[in-house]
Structure 1
Amino acid sequence: MKTSPASQQSGDTSAVNDYLDLDSLLSRDELDARELVRGFCDKRLRDVVPNWFEHGLPEQDARDLMLEFGKLGVLGMHLEGYGCPGLGAVSYGLACTELEAIDSGLRSMVSVQGSLAMSAIRKFGSEEQKQTWLPRMAAGEVLGCFGLTEPDSGSDPGSMRAVARRDRSDWVLNGTKMWITNGSIADIAVVWARTDDGVRGFLVPAGTPGLTAPHMRGKLSMRASITSELILDNVRLPASAQLPGARGLRGPLSCLGEARFGIVFGVLGAAREALRTAVDYAATRTQFGKPIGGFQLTQQKLVEMLLELQKATLLALHLGRLKESGRLRPEQLSVGKLNNVRAALEVCRTARTVLGANGIMQEYPVMRHMANLESVLTYEGTVEVHTLVIGQALTGQNAFR
């Protein structure tokens, strides 16, 4: 989309969408996938999300929404077979951008379903597990969650305390997981636990005796999504509940890589919305006799925000092409997660200053995006973790311990 200098001077925010004509790097199918998701989000979600953020997302609304996401085709959209669309990595990334342009919590719900729970079953499940769960999960009829993080085990999943022990042919699981998106509405939980044979994954259906998923209350971020604990108290499972293809931490960490990829693209949506809001506001808010967009310091803020958004978009597209060609390395993904979340958060913080006191009001999305991104900055690998991943790749030295 090309914008003339005259239209830019008049405060036309079309330039925010694609200032560098980056759409020319996308295929027709990718553009169509993005427009489909964008249209759904604008029509169905934009007006209701502020209320969900203020009051919390009701469980029934979450279930209904996931069914709609299933019909839209965004649940596991990058996975192959078993009812999944099998679209490219960039198409999936663009969908994440549009979801997070509305709210990070919505992108998180979709990401946990597809990139974590479904991805774990697709990669490591038996054929029977794949046939049983994946088609219904892709349709949104069955909801999943992913139980790895624990109260005392976040960045160091190797220190997890959840255990699974053999009892004849069964498994018995004990432990607590925290910060579980979709936890209390999930029909199936992918749970990781220590065994005598290393860390293994298990499929735990809702309603299994000993499994409870209480809501986590008091969140000041990601309020338009459901976050729970998973408490496992002598949860007995048959041998068929184990994911046969996963052994050790490589299993869950590879799933986290899928989720991180969605974040690399997703946060671009939050940044885009914040920038667009700031540009619109600067064109209409008058101080000292003219719109604040006419002052040099305001223009500097807007330009810096635009630069960060465009650079982050180019990085996301490049990583997407690497992923599609099978060449994306974990440390490259760490560059994307570290850079893009940090850039998006800075864009939102700067946009808040352009709006002044209005920047904290629900009428505008900026503070909501900013609060959500504080969570995104931490989950799927903190700033410190990704810094050390990149540092190890640069130096060959492991600085984690």
Structure 2
Amino acid sequence: MPSAPYGGIGRRIAYHRSVARLTQQQLADAAMIHIGTLRKIEQGKRGAGDGILEAIAAALGIDPSMLLDDRVQASSRIRSAIPDLSAAIAAYDLPHDGPVRPLPELRAAVAEAVAWRLASQYVRIVGRVPGLLGELFRAMHTAPERDPDVAALVVSALRSADAVAYKVGAYDLSARLIELMRWAAPQADDHILDSTVAYVRTETFFAADAHDHGLRTLEIAVDAAAPTGELPTIAARGALHMRAAVIAGRAGDVDAADTHLAEARRLGDQVPEASYAGTAFGPSSVRIHEVSVAVSLGSEYVHRALEVARAWAPPPDLPAERRSGFYIELARAQLWAGLPDDAFESLKVARKNAPQHTRDHRWVREDAATLRRLKRADAESLTSFAEWCHAT
């Protein structure tokens, strides 16, 4: 008897429903679809269109990419949406006519996009953010006076779009999105937002391997940052020091890396771990960056990363992308230290935390390919992982 044609996606939905401890009726109600529809999908008797897939994923609290039969489909969806992001910002100064929701609704929509970014839910971002950007540009240009609240929302929405562009290697688009962030931020008249844009702008220097210039730019931003006082300003300044420590490591400047990391640690001890203006900061984030700095400095400093990992692991309430990043960097350190089994386990944990972020990470592909060459006898699981992330 032939297998059900839609069995793969049905099994994934059933699995995630069981993890969420939901009955079919509860999931159908939460997704606002008929129980019969859900039952047929789980049985593999019918497929799920984009609308239904989105509704089910939202009800389960996961990214739609986790429900697709083939993860290649998720990357294809994301990459095929890149032109939509480009089109959304092409006419930022002359947006098309159309409706604009009230500010509270726009604020809620942007907050949702920020949450997706922190959870590495890129399929959701590309599905919603292009239209949201167009609406926000209209809001900016139709207001009698420039509204700083709308300008701040524009920056946040652009940052969510940039997260996708940068992760899939669309660096030219990423740079354009960041330049628009720099255009909108001054209109928000918010020093914390200025620091946030400087933090994100570092991506352009990472992409170009222009680490010395990036370090100089971040140090200028640190000098211009608002004096520490309230928690958000402390966090904004601390995040800049975290970023500066990593790029100093990439530049091979050990003293600067250690100095910035020490200052980030000092500031991190003054605030609870949280997302401040869309950037996670606090003691846990600083710990993660200790590993990142060690890896940035190179294999001679691998012991620093291993020492952090021996005594600490990211708590589950941290953003998924940040947790995933920790294990990706740790895997590289373990590989350099001659611990291939540990490195593979770390990569699998990274995938569990944020599958799309892990799959699209260049280091994951490189390290999986290296592990595959080192451990030819361990065929099945390692080969499956390498094929999943397109390691060559």
TM-score normalised over the length of structure 2 = 0.29
Higher relative contact order (CA 8 A, sep 6+): 1
TM-score normalised over the length of structure 1 = 0.29
